[in-house]
């Protein structure tokens, strides 16, 4: 590739804003769950694209869709109609609930749109109840909705109108409702917040409360959506339906695209001229969404996730048996957290040294978001590396 990792890092230091905590790795190529660095070393990626590459890197269907659509029409302004946009919208509605879709370009942008949507729907009521430890993105509205002060420091004043309650605490939500409340925003499983799973009774209780109080329930499925948890959307596992659902990450199979799906009556409050985004729902982006759906269906990826997930959980449970510092292993489908009683970051580095990429969130929760296309052999290799790293950890701790 002509450049060493260090040379790439040096150029970043000079030319790219230092907004990210980065690992000292520079990648040039990816395929499925494998990535190759600029010096040709191969890594196994158990956290592809921070959840974006849910089909793995460069899924053939997505590549084919991009190549063929790029030859026809890459972008079209929303002044006009394009047949792929309704198809992508219908594909989403067909697997969720009867509603309509607004396309945007990222998770944060979906959250921003939802804030506008529910405020308009609220017609004077504007408060949203949000969860502690939540993560909804970095733009000002999404940041204000986020329940982690560490992300907000230095950026005040935030957008007003967000009332924060502990995740999982239905009574706290009930107590937070005022005559100004219009919606409850939550992740069915908190990703960045430490892989915290909203229980069925909690989510059902929130649904009932929203119905009683005439509030909209907004599910942020940016990380959990599109099959990651073993069902197309995580909310489906608790037998409820949100009024609004937010998507991004895996939705475009690597191509940046986000979406708001809202029940029909709610969606209709955004009348012409009330909301827009120039790139939203481009033919290229919509072709990617359709390719992702095609892959999930044709490769039976939900079935794969549901078959392989118990195997991962079993292996991790065995590791937990042997190591007291593994406090809890939890997850749904291919969204897995390993909570430790010690700092997880050195373990991420130890895995990296063995050429396996994982993540750590909230300091102590190792997070795996493997691609739904990962092979059993790849999973096995990743888990053995994790096991070795845990075993070494016992020796040194």
Minimum distance from residue 111 beta carbon to ligand PLP (Å): 6
Rule CB under 6 A: choose which of 35, 55, 245, 248 binds ligand PLP.
Answer: 248
* 3-class secondary structure, 231: coil
Minimum distance from residue 323 beta carbon to ligand PLP (Å): 28
371, 226 Cβ separation under 8 angstroms: no
Rule CB under 6 A: choose which of 57, 125, 136, 228 binds ligand PLP.
Answer: 136
Instruction: Give, in degrees to the nearest 5, the angle at Cα 337 between 335 and 342.
Output: 160
88, 252 Cβ separation under 8 angstroms: no
User: Which helix (H) or strand (E) covers residue 384, if one does?
Assistant: helix 376-396
Q: DSSP readout, 115-137?
A: HHHHHHHHTT--EEEEETT----
Q: Which two tokens stand for residue 60?
A: 């053939």
Which residues, numbered 284-303, are part of the site for ligand PLP (CB under 6 A)?
Answer: none
Minimum distance from residue 220 beta carbon to ligand PLP (Å): 5
Of 38-46, 73-81, 133-141, 373-381, which part binds ligand PLP (CB under 6 A)? Answer: 133-141
Q: In terms of CB distance, is 258 or 385 closer to ligand PLP?
A: 258
CA distances from 237 to 153, 336, 338 (A): 35, 16, 21
| C-beta nearest to ligand PLP: residue | 107
Which residues, numbered 189-218, are part of the site for ligand PLP (CB under 6 A)?
Answer: 191-192
Minimum distance from residue 108 beta carbon to ligand PLP (Å): 3
Of 198-206, 220-228, 303-311, 348-356, which part binds ligand PLP (CB under 6 A)? Answer: 220-228
**Site for ligand PLP contains 220 (CB under 6 A):** yes
**Site for ligand PLP contains 337 (CB under 6 A):** no
Q: How many CA atoms lie within 13 Å of 338's alpha carbon, on the beta-carbon side?
A: 32
Q: In terms of CB distance, is 185 or 312 closer to ligand PLP?
A: 185
Find where tokens 């939802």 sit. Answer: 114
* 3-class secondary structure, 58: coil
Estimate to the nearest angstrom the gap between the alpha carbon of 249 and the chain centroid: 5
Which residues, numbered 71-110, are part of the site for ligand PLP (CB under 6 A)?
Answer: 106-108
Q: Which two tokens stand for residue 70?
A: 């790029």
Q: In terms of CB distance, is 213 or 362 closer to ligand PLP?
A: 362
User: Which helix (H) or strand (E) covers residue 55, if one does?
Assistant: none
Rule CB under 6 A: choose which of 223, 238, 373, 378 binds ligand PLP.
Answer: 223
Q: DSSP readout, 228-280?
A: TTSSSSGGGGGT---SEEEE-GGGGTTS--EEEEEEHHHHTTS-TTS---TTT
Rule CB under 6 A: choose which of 197, 219, 222, 257 binds ligand PLP.
Answer: 222
Instruction: Indicate the DSSP class of residue 167.
Output: T
Q: In terms of CB distance, is 222 or 291 closer to ligand PLP?
A: 222
Q: In terms of CB distance, is 60 or 256 closer to ligand PLP?
A: 256
Return d(Cα 284, Cα 328) in angstroms, integer: 41
Q: In terms of CB distance, is 275 or 381 closer to ligand PLP?
A: 275
**Site for ligand PLP contains 112 (CB under 6 A):** no
E strands, 32-92, are 34-37, 42-45
* Binding footprint of ligand PLP on the chain (CB under 6 A): 106-108, 111, 135-137, 187, 191-192, 220, 222-223, 248
């Amino acid at each position: 590739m002509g450049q060493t990792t260090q040379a790439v890092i040096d150029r970043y230091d000079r030319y790219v804003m230092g907004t990210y905590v980065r690992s000292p790795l520079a990648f040039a190529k990816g395929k499925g769950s494998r990535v190759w660095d600029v010096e040709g070393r191969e890594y196994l990626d158990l956290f592809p694209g921070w959840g974006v590459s849910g089909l793995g890197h460069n899924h053939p269907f997505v590549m084919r869709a991009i190549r063929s659509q790029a030859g026809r029409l890459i972008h079209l302004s929303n002044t006009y109609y394009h047949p792929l946009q309704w198809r992508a919208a219908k594909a989403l509605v067909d697997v969720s609930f009867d509603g309509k879709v607004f396309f945007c370009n990222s998770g944060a942008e979906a959250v921003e749109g939802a804030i506008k949507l529910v405020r308009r729907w609220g017609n004077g009521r504007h408060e949203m109840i949000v969860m502690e430890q939540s993560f909804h993105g970095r733009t000002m509205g999404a940041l204000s909705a986020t329940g982690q002060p560490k992300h907000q420091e230095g950026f005040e004043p935030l957008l007003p109108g967000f009332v924060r309650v502990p995740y999982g605490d239905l009574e706290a939500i009930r107590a937070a409702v005022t005559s100004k409340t219009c919606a409850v925003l939550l992740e069915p499983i908190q990703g960045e917040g430490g892989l915290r799973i909203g229980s069925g009774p909690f989510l059902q209780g929130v649904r009932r409360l929203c119905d009683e109080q005439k509030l909209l329930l907004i599910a942020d499925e940016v990380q959990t959506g599109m099959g990651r948890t073993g069902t197309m959307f995580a909310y489906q596992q608790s037998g409820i339906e949100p009024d609004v659902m937010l998507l991004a990450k895996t939705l475009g199979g690597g191509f940046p695209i986000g979406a708001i799906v809202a029940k029909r009556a709610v969606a209709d409050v955004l009348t012409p001229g009330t909301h827009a985004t120039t790139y939203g729902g481009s033919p290229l982006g919509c072709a990617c969404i359709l390719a992702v759906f095609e892959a999930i269906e044709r490769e039976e990826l939900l079935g794969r996730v549901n078959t392989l997930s118990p195997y991962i959980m079993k292996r991790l449970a065995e590791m937990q048996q042997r190591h007291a510092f593994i406090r809890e292993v939890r997850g749904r489908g291919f969204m897995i957290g390993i909570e430790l009683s010690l700092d997880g970051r050195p373990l991420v580095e130890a895995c990296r040294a063995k050429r396996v990429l994982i993540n750590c969130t909230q300091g102590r929760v190792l997070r795996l978001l493997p691609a739904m296309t990962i092979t059993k052999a790849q999973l096995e290799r990743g888990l053995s590396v994790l096991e070795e790293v845990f075993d070494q950890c016992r020796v040194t701790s």
